[in-house]
Amino acid sequence: MSVEDEKQKVFQGTPSEDVRLENLGYEQELKRSFGLVGMIGFSFSVVTSWTALSGVFIVGVTSGGPPVMVFSFLAVSLLTLAVAIPMAEMCSMYPVAGGQYSWVAALAPPKIARGLSYVTGWFMLIGLLAMGATNNSITSNFVLGMGNLIFPEFEIQRWQTVLVAYLVAFLSAAVNLWGSHFLHRISKAILIWNVTSFVIVTATILAMNDHKQPASFVFQDFQNGTGFSTGMAAIIGVLQACFGMCCYDAPSHMTEEMKSASKEAPKAIVLAVILGAVTGFAFLVALCFCIGDIETTANTSTGVPVIQIIYDSTGSKVATCILSSLISVIVIVAGNNVLAEGSRSVYAFARDNGLPFSKFFSKVESKTHVPVNAVLLTLVVQLALDAIEFGTTTGFQTVIAISTEGFYLSYAIALFSRLAGYYTGHVTKLDGPYSFSVPVSIALNIIGLLFLLFAAITFNFPSENPVTHESMNYTSAAIGVVALISGITWITTGRKHFSGPGAVSFLNGTNTATQNAVEADAQCENEKKT
């Protein structure tokens, strides 16, 4: 039997996802409850470009203005598909909760696969944990912003933002610990809520706003309030679109809770990006037409420019709070889903001995099928990152930046590993249920990797000039700290204990996935004979 025939048998000939997971070296411990619709709702609530853009809208307005925001979002959406499709292929081939770091272990050349997988796992985890903290803060901003709108004398303080963010985090943890069996139902409901809210909010501000900006303002007039040159301002403006198109790897970390993960998780990844692109673009254009005075909007006492735009459009505090509440519900559910996704990633990495005290954090509660210790660790880290805002807003801005940077770097390493595996002859073709021809797959990987490298570099640029200690972008320093931590833990524990995915372990420089499958098939044949 040829290697390709064996791979086909491993990844396409299995009768169930549990057997497929076993052939990849893992025991099924989590409960499979998600279908395609539920996972689309789960992933879209995390990506939700139109609400994500709300949090960084002013960055784009002052860095190139609406033309850069609108056209860069279109470009970033297309380039994001060039990343999402290769990732969907990898997810279909290797449907395990580890996501990116598992794919790197399977696809990268054996000599570098194990170490590269370990580093990818750390960047992936810090991105997920920081994004959870960011989402909690965004929710807090919306809640307190509505309070300020109703009671103008109420002045929002940083400690209030942190405490409300804590409340959101504890709520998410409670649902994950005691209501995990409702996650798939919540995800289906939030998909309907998400799309309906998008239509209601967008249509309302367009219909009620009587002082719309001219088309030239939206599509032609370049705005530069950064202090940098025109080109640099445009590059910074592109980053707003990058933040709005992130986290689409969510289904890959929930594959062990999906009924048909190898077929439906890849579809959920791609469809979430498409939904995010369509809703994000429409909402972005609507905001650009409805924005009033830029300075007033940027410095609104609510702390949320989108709340100010909605209020300026409707002229009603009640209507503004209703529309803002629609968005707030989406962000709250997104926080719940990010915590679920993050805890499954922690569980997977610990299962492969990638963390200190891995045995403790990889435990799954037998009755609820929930990785309780991983959920609690995810919660604690989110609370610690949110606590940074107690002392400094600048420090928490770095948390926001590193959340996106962590994701993009983990995506980039996964695509690099696919290309490296192809050009070295290690893994030339992905044969999962969701796959494309080799030329198309490789071309998309190259385009996606170039885009990710561009974004990962520019995420480190400051957003205004002259640069002070307050406006300095500390992302590069934070990434350096993460790299240092991963390096130290690799030397002290990882090098000895990190196994990588069980069926694609390269401890001895060999891929054992096919061997495991052949042995499993032989065992089945023997059982049939007896």
97 and 186 share one domain: yes
Task: Give residue 51's pLDDT.
Answer: 80
pLDDT band, very low/low/confident/very high, at 376 (cuts 50, 70, 90): very high
440 and 387 share one domain: yes
- Does the structure show a pLDDT above 90 at 504? no
Task: Give residue 519's pLDDT.
Answer: 46
Neighbouring residues of 152: CB distance < 8 A, sequence distance ≥ 6: 301
To the nearest 10°, report the CA torsion of 448, 452, 454, 460. 170
372 and 521 share one domain: no
Neighbours of 494 (CB within 10 A): 23
Neighbours of 322 (CB within 10 A): 16
Residue 479 is assigned to a structural domain of this protein: yes
pLDDT band, very low/low/confident/very high, at 148 (cuts 50, 70, 90): very high
Residue 19 is assigned to a structural domain of this protein: no
Q: Give the best-scoring range by mean pLDDT among 52-56, 67-71, 119-123, 398-402.
A: 119-123
Domain total of the chain: 2
387 and 513 share one domain: no
Residue 445 is assigned to a structural domain of this protein: yes
324 and 191 share one domain: yes
- Encode pLDDT of 400-450 as tens digits: 778 888 899 999 999 999 999 999 999 888 888 899 999 999 999 999 999
- Does the structure show a pLDDT above 90 at 102? yes
Is there a contact between 254 and 55 (Cβ–Cβ < 8 Å)?
no
The pTM is what? 0.88
State the chain's mean pLDDT as an integer: 86
486 vs 458: CA distance, rounded Å? 23
Residue 18 is assigned to a structural domain of this protein: no
7 vs 517: CA distance, rounded Å? 9
- Encode pLDDT of 278-336 as tens digits: 999 999 999 999 998 888 888 889 988 899 999 999 999 999 999 999 999 999 999 99
Could you tell me how many residues make up the chain?
Answer: 530
Tokens of 355: 């963390």
134 vs 399: CA distance, rounded Å? 7
386 vs 404: CA distance, rounded Å? 16
Classify the C-alpha dihedral 273-275-280-285 as positive or negative. positive
Task: Give residue 12's pLDDT.
Answer: 43
Cα–Cα nearest to 152, from 9, 301, 296, 8: 301
H or E element: which one contains 319? Answer: helix 317-351
Is there a contact between 378 and 409 (Cβ–Cβ < 8 Å)?
no
- Does the structure show a pLDDT above 80 at 502? no
445 and 519 share one domain: no
Tokens of 1: 């039997």
397 vs 392: CA distance, rounded Å? 9
Residue 450 is assigned to a structural domain of this protein: yes
320 and 200 share one domain: yes
Number of helical (H) and strand (E) elements in the chain, helices listed first: 24, 2
372 and 491 share one domain: yes
Instruction: Please give the residue that has the higher pLDDT: either 5 or 325.
Output: 325
Is there a contact between 95 and 261 (Cβ–Cβ < 8 Å)?
yes
DSSP string, 243-274: HHS--TTHHHHTGGGBTTHHHHHHHHHHHHHH
- Does the structure show a pLDDT above 80 at 4? no
Residues forming a β-bridge with 370: 365
Domain containing residue 524: 503-529
Task: Give residue 415's pLDDT.
Answer: 97
395 and 523 share one domain: no
Is there a contact between 54 and 304 (Cβ–Cβ < 8 Å)?
yes
Task: Give residue 394's pLDDT.
Answer: 66
Residue 2 is assigned to a structural domain of this protein: no
Tokens of 191: 């998909």
239 vs 56: CA distance, rounded Å? 9
Percent of the chain with pLDDT over 90: 55
Q: Three-state SS across 436-483?
A: CCHHHHHHHHHHHHHHHHHHHHHCCCCCCCCCCCCCCCCHHHHHHHHH
Residue 60 is assigned to a structural domain of this protein: yes
211 and 250 share one domain: yes
Task: Give residue 238's pLDDT.
Answer: 81
- Encode pLDDT of 182-232 as tens digits: 999 999 999 999 999 999 999 999 999 999 999 998 998 888 877 788 888
What's 315's domain CATH number? 1.20.1740.10
H or E element: which one contains 227? Answer: none
494 and 521 share one domain: no
- Encode pLDDT of 243-252 as tens digits: 778 889 999 9
- Does the structure show a pLDDT above 60 at 1? no
411 and 516 share one domain: no
H or E element: which one contains 223? Answer: strand 223-224
Residue 25 is assigned to a structural domain of this protein: no
